[in-house]
Copies of this chain bind each other. A is one copy, B any other.
Amino acid sequence: MTAVTGTIRNGVNTDTMFATLDLIKTQPELAKFQFRATNRWIDGAHNRSTIKGFYAAGGEDTTRTEAFELDAGEPAILLGTDTGPNPAEYLLHALAACLTTSIVYVAAARKVPLTSVESTLTGDMDVRGALGVDPEPRNGFESITVSFRVTGDAPEEKLREVVERATRRSAVYDMVTNGVPVAMEVTTE
């Protein structure tokens, strides 16, 4: 019992965490990962992504026995029938989820027991850009605001340090703030 509670912090097995970090330090080629999604249009603004396989640590990871399916849509005002969150909302979720997991992992590594991590994200958009009505507004969010409330058994300064370091390590925060090169290929047969 003591051994188990000693290695699990914030729901993260820190022994496994440090073993993984050590392994990747000595064998950096294991750090090459590839994630994937396939998407299929259903009707109107309704489309569905399937997410299952990925490449990790030198081989194809086959531990997922079932695929995840995600439905996207648009509300009526954007010509859909609300078959799911819209793509911009999914981006907010991706950012929230990545920052939250980063906070939880960094806190686990630094022996900070958390009690709650909550966030609200808002993204402001002038839809004239995406609708092609006016070339001036950009297509995406002009800005995103992220408000975190983090509580745990540590002084405020320590909790803020955890959030700051987690932000510097978050994969999606990096992508959303700095952008990523995207290559597009199209076939029509």
The chain A residues found within 8 Å of chain B, CB to CB, are 10-13, 16-17, 20-21, 24-25, 28, 31-41, 43-47, 49, 51, 54, 56-57, 61, 63-64, 68, 70, 72, 74-80, 82, 84-98, 100-105, 114, 116-134, 137-151, 156, 159-160, 163, 167-189
Contact yes or no, B16 A79, CB < 8 A = yes
A131 in contact with B24 given A90-B90, A173-B182, A188-B159 (CB within 8 Å): yes
Q: How far is the CA of A159 from the CA of B102 in the complex (A)?
A: 41
Contact yes or no, B144 A183, CB < 8 A = yes
For the complex, would chain A's binding face be called helix, strand, loop or mixed by DSSP majority? mixed
Number of chain copies forming the complex: 2
Contact yes or no, A96 B39, CB < 8 A = yes
A sample of 20 inter-chain contacts (CB < 8 A) reads A20-B77, A25-B133, A31-B133, A37-B92, A38-B119, A38-B120, A41-B104, A63-B75, A70-B90, A70-B93, A88-B175, A129-B174, A138-B178, A141-B180, A142-B180, A143-B181, A146-B183, A151-B188, A159-B186, A176-B179
Chain B residues whose C-beta falls within 8 Å of the C-beta of A118 in the assembled complex: 38-41
Instruction: Find A34's partner among B98, B124, B148, B185 (CB 8 Å cutoff).
Output: B124
Contact yes or no, A163 B143, CB < 8 A = no
Contact yes or no, B44 A12, CB < 8 A = yes
Contact yes or no, B84 A39, CB < 8 A = no
Instruction: Find A171's partner among B75, B77, B125 (CB 8 Å cutoff).
Output: B125
Q: How far is the CA of A90 from the CA of B39 in the complex (A)?
A: 12
Contact yes or no, A41 B100, CB < 8 A = yes
Which residue, A13, A41, A156, A181, has most C-beta atoms of chain B within 10 A? A41
A94 in contact with B104 given A12-B79, A183-B143 (CB within 8 Å): no
Instruction: Find A87's partner among B20, B21, B24, B171 (CB 8 Å cutoff).
Output: B171
